[in-house]
Structure 1
Amino acid sequence: MTLRARLAAALSPTLNREQVQDVFLYQNRPMPDGPFTPAAVLIAITDRPQPGMILTQRHANLRAHAGQVAFPGGRLDPEDPDAIAAALREAEEEIALPREHVEILGRSDMFRTGTGFSVEPIVGIIPPDLPLHPAEAEVEAIFEVPLDFLLDPVNRRYETVDWQGSKRSYYEYIWEDRRIWGVTAAMLVNLARRIEAADAALMQNRP
């Protein structure tokens, strides 16, 4: 089964949602009140024999989520007709990824954050080894993580810490010297569970 077909099946609206358990950053604390600001991120997967996923490390001097690993993305602007347009625009602004090189495959699960954003992950395939460049004001580094590493449950940890007088739980990955956690890790877990469910359905339907 090709990478495109596998991802398309995982992102299909007809996927049995009972097999997918959504992950939220605000586990063990009340759901934040709305309204939520619409936002989008681009989950860009490289089309190579061993596919990878493009991630960024934000600048340490930013006011929000400084130094954290994130997908390229941000809030929807008035000129953005939808989340796909916003994700492509943000990726072009943040890492110089030309939107014409992105093959959109679908949308993953909406994610509402404790900071008041409703983030829609847009999944696409891009050619390998594009000459990407970080926007100096926002992005400190661009890197690629093997997709197999991110999909393997062995490589994700579930942590619980004391935070502002209560418990806060989250997922994280450690890739080389980088920590992937919070919203980004939760989106990765959601996508991985979708792929697991789609793969399981495919195996069940084989003669």
Structure 2
Amino acid sequence: MPPTDPIQRIEAALARPGAPSSDYDLNRDVTLPETRKLRQAAVLVPLIEAPSGLEVLLTKRSAQLKMHPGQIAFPGGKHDRTDANLTATALREAREETGLPEGLVDIVGTLPAHETVTGFTVTPIVGHIAAPFAQRPEPGEVEEIFRVPLAHVTDPANFAVQSRLWQGKPRHFYTVPYGPYYIWGATARILRALADRLV
């Protein structure tokens, strides 16, 4: 019998083997060079208790940033040599970007790595936050911190495939909008990978 507790259900889903994902998943005409060098990064997928069920904490990046300005993202960033591992990277970045203390996060599991068009291999670390904390957007980096229902972003019916020009060619990508928030690209692809595991 599958687990009925939502965190246990997610933990069981993450324990199953799965294939890595990529920003190129929907663009089969792209041939990636085998010699490409990818930089390690990690994001935290924070699951927060709410009266109506689990919610996912996300950030809206500052419009002043050079990379991905104004986009919706998980808290996270590139691996630092001082980080013990990629989980430490995700937790450090979440603390810096949102004020989330590392000690409040119970690690549930990880999703397979996701390759981005910007040359990163991103490991999503799923964490459960049962206690409230004082949210503090990182000045100059994070414009807004908000939450969306986990049920919304893990329902495959809420996803759509759209496209826009990237380096002169159409690039297709997943989107999973919620209210005023246009969630797309790597963030939507990682959420789709989680949704597919929970079906």
Structure 1 length as normaliser, TM-score? 0.87
1:205 aligns with none
Q: After superposition, where does 1:53-68 map in structure 2 within 5 Å?
A: 53-68=56-71
Matched, 1:30 2:28: no
Which of these residues, 81, 85, 89, is aligned with residue 84 of structure 2? 81
2:101 to 98, 102, 113: 98
Q: Does 1 or 2 have the higher relative contact order (CA < 8 Å, sep 6+)?
A: 1
Cα shift at 1:130:
2.3
Counterparts of 2:31 and 2:141, CA distance in 1: 31
Deviation at 1:48, TM superposition (A): 3.3
Q: Corresponding residue for 2:162?
A: 159
Give the structure 2 partner of residue 41 of structure 1.
43
How far is 1:43 from its partner? 0.1
1:147 to 132, 147, 150: 150
Q: Residue type matched to 1:43 in 2?
A: V
Q: Please give the residue correspondences for 1:97-176 in structure 2 after superposition, counting only pairs within 5 Å.
A: 97-127=100-130, 129-176=132-179
- 1:192 maps to a residue whose letter is A
Residues paired across the two proteins, number: 191
Query: Is contact 2:60-2:142 (8 Å) kept?
Result: yes
How far the C-alpha of 1:16 sits from its partner, in A, is 5.5
SS for the counterpart of 2:137 is coil
Cα distance, 1:90 vs structure 2:
0.3
> Any runs of at least 4 consecutive aligned residues in structure 1 with deviations exceeding 4 A, and if so which?
none
Q: 2: distance between equivalents of 1:23 and 1:78? A: 25
Structure 1 stretches of 5 or more lacking a match?
Answer: 197-207
On the 8 A contact 1:31/1:114 being kept in 2, the answer is: no
Letter in 2 for 1:35: K
Q: Report the aligned-residue RMSD.
A: 1.6
Corresponding residue number in structure 2 for 1:187? 190
Q: What CA deviation, in whole Å up to 9, does each residue of 1:135-164 have, x standing for no partner?
A: 012000000000001111121111133433
**Amino acid corresponding to residue 155 of structure 2 in structure 1:** D
Q: Is the 8 A contact 2:78 2:89 kept in 1?
A: yes
Identical positions, percent = 40
Q: Distance in 2 between matches of 1:45 and 1:157?
A: 23
Q: Is the contact made by 1:48 and 1:128 (CA closer than 8 Å) also made in structure 2?
A: no
Look up the SS of the partner of 1:11 in the other structure. helix
Residue by residue over 1:159-202, the C-alpha shift from the partner in whole angstroms, topping out at 9 and shown as x without a partner, is: 13343332311000111111000010000001111122xxxxxx
- Gap runs ≥5 in structure 2: none
**What is the TM-score of this pair, normalised by structure 2?**
0.90
Tell me the distance in 2 between the aligned counterparts of 1:82 and 1:16. Answer: 21
Counterpart Cα distance in 1 of 2:133 and 2:96: 15
